[in-house]
Amino acid sequence: MRAGRLRPLLAALTLALAVACGATERETPAPRPVPRDWNLTFHDEFDGSDLDTDRWATCYDWNKDGCTNSGNDEEQWYLPGQVSVGDGALRLDAERRGTRGSDDKTYPWRSGMISTGRDDWYGEPRHVFTYGYFEASIRVPGEAGMFPAFWMMPASRFTPPELDIMEFLGGTEHVFMYAHWRSPDGDQRARGTYGPVPFADEHHVFGMLWTTDEVSWYVDGVRRFRVTEPERIPHVPMEVLINLAVGVPQSPPPSVDSARMTVDWVRVWQE
- In the predicted model, is pLDDT for residue 18 greater than 80? no
Mean pLDDT of 188-211: 97
Work out whether the CA dihedral 201, 203, 204, 206 comes out positive or negative: positive
By C-alpha distance, which of 181, 200, 204, 183 is closest to 191? 181
pLDDT in tens, 171-186: 999 999 999 999 888 8
Q: What is the sign of the dihedral through the CA atoms of 41, 120, 154 and 81? A: positive
Read off the pLDDT of residues 145-161 as tens digits, 9 standing for 90 and up: 999 999 999 999 999 99
| CATH number of the domain to which 119 belongs | 2.60.120.200
Summarised one tens digit per residue, pLDDT across range 121-146 is: 999 999 999 999 999 999 999 999 99
pLDDT at 183: 86
Mean pLDDT of the chain: 90
Each residue of 209-246: pLDDT tens digit? 999 999 999 999 999 999 999 999 999 999 999 999 99
Whole-angstrom CA distances from 240 to 95, 225, 228 are: 24, 20, 21
| 148 touches 244 (CB < 8 A) | yes
CA dist., res. 138 & res. 144, Å (int):
17
Q: Count how many domains the chain has.
A: 1
Q: Give the residue, 5 or 59, on which the prediction is more confident.
A: 59
Domain that holds residue 162: 3-270
pTM for the structure as a whole: 0.88
